[in-house]
Structure 1
């Protein structure tokens, strides 16, 4: 069974579906280490994004851990950890 992974392109798509995008933000740029707040996504938008990820990928993301993921890189790490079946780091 191939291992499924969640990519930056997947995250961009889900962010746009869940919360849209501020016209002044370029999600196609180098955003891996940019805070979600700088990308105009507040915590509610990230929780909605995570809910969509959970439904689409059949995983469960702990809200407390998700709120600590301040950048796309951190969120990608959490999602891919769950997809790999590994315990999430607190």
Structure 2
């Protein structure tokens, strides 16, 4: 089971596995506040990314969490909020 904290490194790995990366985008850079659309990730890529996150972390994300108008920081916050909720329910 993955750790109880979802990080930018986790998101980078899953984005690359799910949809690859645009040639001119450096995911290793400071991308926390860059919209997914600017990074080259559109709705289908984000749906695949969300599905992988849900399976790997055992959570359910809202469709609103996977908008290409959001940023990686927004998605990381949403995933960590769901992980916290799941941890609280398990305790």
The superposition leaves residues 17-52 of structure 1 with CA deviations (integer Å, 9 ceiling, x where unpaired) of 000001110000000000101100001111110000
What's the offset of the Cα at 1:57?
Answer: 0.4
Which structure 2 residue ranges, 5 or more long, are not aligned?
87-91
Runs of 4 or more, structure 1, over 3 Å off, are: none
Match of 2:37 in 1: 37
* Length-normalised TM-score, structure 1: 0.86
CA gap 1:68/1:35 in 2 versus in 1, 3 angstroms: closer
Counterpart in 1 of 2:8?
Answer: 8
Q: Is the 8 A contact 1:69 1:75 kept in 2?
A: no
Structure 1: where are the runs of 5+ without partners?
none
The DSSP-based 3-state class of the residue aligned with 1:38 is helix
- CA root-mean-square deviation: 1.7
Question: Which residue is equivalent to 2:89?
Answer: none
* Bigger proportion of residues as helix: 2
